[in-house]
Amino acid sequence: MAYLDWNESYSVNIKEFDQQHKKLVSLLNELFEAMKAGSAKQILGVILNSLIDYTEKHFAAEEALMEKYDFPELWRHRNEHIHLTKQVLAFKDKYERGEVSLSVEMSGFLKAWLTDHILKTDKRYTEFLNKNGVY
């Protein structure tokens, strides 16, 4: 059983973003499985970096599409992306300095962050972008 299973309640009804969200879920599951297996710090670091890099690309794609269609909540959405990115990068820096370890608590934070962002923030652009012909 995966740490986080994708289900249709996470769909934002935009194929590109649903695929990207599924990839983020997959990376989170990969990180959790590596933690459970007691993988070396280097392997965990590589997976964590992949998750962060992919998240940044996903955020940029969302923001570009919202900007293209003049989504009225773009700045609020972008600010949330900035805040979330800062949180994760701060943790990554502490992890790389050996000040914290990847733990169930951290994976819980990432899981909650991902699901809350999709369900509470991303869902706000669905209707607007669908009305503009984006699916």
Checking 3-10 for CB contacts under 8 A at 24+ apart, the result is: 3/28, 3/29, 3/32, 3/33, 3/107, 3/111, 4/28, 4/29, 4/32, 4/111, 4/114, 4/115, 9/119, 10/115, 10/118, 10/119
Q: Which residue has the tokens 């933690």?
A: 35
Give residue limits of the domains in the chain: 14-131
pLDDT reading at 8 higher than 90 = yes
Contact present, 55 and 85 (Cβ < 8 Å): yes
The correct CATH number of 14-131 out of 1.20.120.50, 1.10.760.10, 1.10.3720.10, 3.40.1390.10 is: 1.20.120.50
Predicted local confidence at residue 133, as pLDDT: 96
pLDDT reading at 64 higher than 90 = yes
Contact present, 51 and 27 (Cβ < 8 Å): yes
- Bigger pLDDT: 36 vs 135: 135
pLDDT band at residue 123 using 50, 70 and 90 as cut-offs? very high
pLDDT reading at 104 higher than 80 = no
